[in-house]
Amino acid sequence: MFSRLTGNTHAKDVLSRLIAKGRVPNALIFAGDEGVGKRQFALEIARVLICKDAIDGACGVCSACVRVGSFSMPGADDRDAFKRVIWSDHPDVGMVTAHNRSIFVDAIRHLETEANFLPYEAGSRFFIVNDAEKMNDAASNALLKTLEEPPLDTHIFLVTSRPDSLLPTIRSRCQMIRFSPLAVEEVERYLIEEKAFTSDEARLPARLSRGSVGRAVAMNVERLIEERADMLSVLGSVIETGDLAAALKIAEKMNDAKHKENYEEALGILESLIHDIWRIRASDDVTRAVNADLADRLAHLADESGSLDLAGWLDEIETLRQNLAVNINRKVATDALFVKMAAA
Ligand SMILES: [Zn+2]
């Protein structure tokens, strides 16, 4: 069962057992980081329970299976469309989704009304609430009412990366299924098999995705490679040549009009490189490095880095990252970071 889905063996086990016993709860929370497949699992459960040809899992090819996953999502300018349940091509499978930052209470009220109708085709009706943490108080309370007396043949699946932001009273009425970040190899395989990446193209985004296929797919590989070359030359400057001016030039580039949108991504790459150098210095194990394809270069930097306080650099970057939320001058902060790194 769930063989078409990537990773998350634990969630697969728990859900398979619930399905085998015929005890899929009316209300489930799918909790875990962005882009690890929570919504795909929720839809797959609907499929398993709806598919008439299900043997070990849904067949995936019958009309019902195909329609379950087929949604035409409204555009962001169609605000009113988000005040209702958005149906898939299957009349018993719908979704509630946030518009900008919040889920409209009207959408949850519509879910409540629809949950009380008998299923059209299937044995039960399925409602997925995406980014459930985006429900405001009114929407949460409306949903709570439905969860308190769930109609028998209804399943409500809350999908969230921040389960702690849900009302405790909502959490206590749902069984929680936890999803973990995927392994690098799993993300890589997904990119190659589902997104037609070559294995060269898949390597870097998979390694920088922190276990999220969503994040990996959204990355622009050419841009990543350019950013990584820049960050690598910053490290070359501060570790090998002491050429601070060269590093500051890159700080300027990171903050110019063309690149400032990707500032945090570049910072993340810098972090990953420092981490790798640190790891290589500590254990000589290059294979587990995020940037394993640069092993030789990184090993050289690790040798040259001597007793430099790499952990201290990572702390500085973390502090900078936190300060981004309070609208600091990024150029000044980046300069200050590179100056500190070069000073050691
Ligand atoms: Zn089927």
In whole angstroms, what is the distance from residue 202 CA to residue 217 CA? 9
Q: Considering only CA atoms, which of 34, 16, 15, 14 is closest in space to residue 180?
A: 34
Q: How sure is the predictor about 291, in pLDDT bands with cuts at 50, 70 and 90?
A: confident
Residue 339 has pLDDT above 90, yes or no: yes
Share of the chain above pLDDT 90, in %: 74
Residue at which a domain ends, from 180, 197, 230: 180
Same domain for 227 and 307: yes
Q: Over range 155-174, report the average pLDDT.
A: 96
Same domain for 169 and 248: no
Q: Could you tell me the distance, in angstroms and rounded to a whole number, from the CA of residue 85 to the centre of ligand 1?
A: 23
Residue 221 has pLDDT above 70, yes or no: yes
Count of CA atoms in the C-beta half-sphere (13 A) of 143: 34
- 90-121 pLDDT per residue, tens: 999 999 999 988 999 999 999 999 999 999 99
Q: Which residue blocks in the chain are alpha helix, DSSP H?
A: 9-20, 38-50, 63-68, 105-115, 137-148, 168-171, 184-195, 199-208, 213-218, 221-236, 244-254, 263-283, 295-304, 310-324, 330-343
- Write down the pLDDT at residue 78: 95
- Write down the pLDDT at residue 265: 87
Residue at which a domain ends, from 148, 165, 180: 180
Does a structural domain hold residue 198? no
Say what the alpha-carbon torsion angle 37, 41, 44, 45 is, to the nearest 10 degrees.
Answer: -170
Q: How sure is the predictor about 344, in pLDDT bands with cuts at 50, 70 and 90?
A: low
Q: Could you tell me the distance, in angstroms and rounded to a whole number, from the CA of residue 66 to the centre of ligand 1?
A: 7
Q: Could you tell me the distance, in angstroms and rounded to a whole number, from the CA of residue 1 to the centre of ligand 1?
A: 13
Q: Could you tell me the distance, in angstroms and rounded to a whole number, from the CA of residue 22 to the centre of ligand 1?
A: 18
Q: Over range 185-205, report the average pLDDT.
A: 89
Mean pLDDT over the full length of the chain: 92
Same domain for 16 and 109: yes
Q: Could you tell me the distance, in angstroms and rounded to a whole number, from the CA of residue 58 to the centre of ligand 1?
A: 5
Q: Could you tell me the distance, in angstroms and rounded to a whole number, from the CA of residue 249 to the centre of ligand 1?
A: 57
Q: Could you tell me the distance, in angstroms and rounded to a whole number, from the CA of residue 69 to the centre of ligand 1?
A: 11
Q: Could you tell me the distance, in angstroms and rounded to a whole number, from the CA of residue 177 to the centre of ligand 1?
A: 24
Give the CATH number, domain containing residue 35.
3.40.50.300
Q: How sure is the predictor about 203, in pLDDT bands with cuts at 50, 70 and 90?
A: confident
Q: Could you tell me the distance, in angstroms and rounded to a whole number, from the CA of residue 51 to the centre of ligand 1?
A: 4
Q: How sure is the predictor about 6, in pLDDT bands with cuts at 50, 70 and 90?
A: confident
Pairing of strands 86-87, 93-96: antiparallel
Cα distances (Å, whole numbers) of residue 43 to 50, 178, 182, 243, 267: 10, 16, 19, 54, 35
Q: How sure is the predictor about 80, in pLDDT bands with cuts at 50, 70 and 90?
A: very high
Does a structural domain hold residue 207? no
Residue at which a domain ends, from 157, 180, 203: 180
Does a structural domain hold residue 187? no
Q: Which residue is it, tokens 């005890």?
A: 23
Q: Could you tell me the distance, in angstroms and rounded to a whole number, from the CA of residue 67 to the centre of ligand 1?
A: 10
Same domain for 110 and 22: yes
Q: Could you tell me the distance, in angstroms and rounded to a whole number, from the CA of residue 178 to the centre of ligand 1?
A: 26
Q: Could you tell me the distance, in angstroms and rounded to a whole number, from the CA of residue 314 to the centre of ligand 1?
A: 49
Q: Could you tell me the distance, in angstroms and rounded to a whole number, from the CA of residue 68 to the centre of ligand 1?
A: 10
Domain that holds residue 329: 220-343
Give the CATH number, domain containing residue 315.
1.20.272
DSSP assignment letter at 36: S
- Write down the pLDDT at residue 167: 96
Q: Could you tell me the distance, in angstroms and rounded to a whole number, from the CA of residue 3 to the centre of ligand 1?
A: 14
Q: Could you tell me the distance, in angstroms and rounded to a whole number, from the CA of residue 292 to the centre of ligand 1?
A: 41
Q: Over range 68-89, report the average pLDDT.
A: 95
Same domain for 233 and 158: no
DSSP assignment letter at 181: P
Counted domains in the chain? 2
- Write down the pLDDT at residue 201: 82
Q: Could you tell me the distance, in angstroms and rounded to a whole number, from the CA of residue 188 to the centre of ligand 1?
A: 28
Does a structural domain hold residue 32? yes
Same domain for 296 and 246: yes
Same domain for 247 and 168: no
Count of residues making up the chain: 344
Same domain for 236 and 158: no
Same domain for 234 and 135: no
Q: Could you tell me the distance, in angstroms and rounded to a whole number, from the CA of residue 125 to the centre of ligand 1?
A: 16
**Contact in structure between 4 and 60 (CB atoms under 8 Å):** yes
Q: How sure is the predictor about 257, in pLDDT bands with cuts at 50, 70 and 90?
A: very high
Does a structural domain hold residue 61? yes
Q: Could you tell me the distance, in angstroms and rounded to a whole number, from the CA of residue 129 to the centre of ligand 1?
A: 23
Does a structural domain hold residue 202? no
Q: Could you tell me the distance, in angstroms and rounded to a whole number, from the CA of residue 311 to the centre of ligand 1?
A: 52
Does a structural domain hold residue 193? no
- 280-290 pLDDT per residue, tens: 998 877 777 88
> What type of residue is 9?
T
**Contact in structure between 6 and 60 (CB atoms under 8 Å):** no
Q: Could you tell me the distance, in angstroms and rounded to a whole number, from the CA of residue 2 to the centre of ligand 1?
A: 13
- 34-65 pLDDT per residue, tens: 889 999 999 999 999 999 998 888 999 999 99
Q: Could you tell me the distance, in angstroms and rounded to a whole number, from the CA of residue 55 to the centre of ligand 1?
A: 9
**Contact in structure between 126 and 115 (CB atoms under 8 Å):** no
DSSP assignment letter at 88: B
Same domain for 172 and 112: yes
What φ, ψ does residue 71 adopt, rounded to 5°? Answer: -115, 135
Say what the alpha-carbon torsion angle 334, 336, 337, 340 is, to the nearest 10 degrees.
Answer: 160
Same domain for 94 and 38: yes
| The pair of three-digit structure tokens given for residue 308, joined into one six-digit string | 């430099």
Cα angle 264-6-91, degrees, rounded to a multiple of 5: 100
Does a structural domain hold residue 55? yes
Q: Could you tell me the distance, in angstroms and rounded to a whole number, from the CA of residue 21 to the centre of ligand 1?
A: 20
Same domain for 224 and 139: no
In whole angstroms, what is the distance from residue 205 CA to residue 225 CA? 10
What φ, ψ does residue 88 adopt, rounded to 5°? Answer: -80, -175
List all residues 6 or more positions away from 338 whose beta carbon is below 8 Å from its beta carbon: 234, 238, 244, 247, 248, 251
List all residues 6 or more positions away from 75 whose beta carbon is below 8 Å from its beta carbon: none
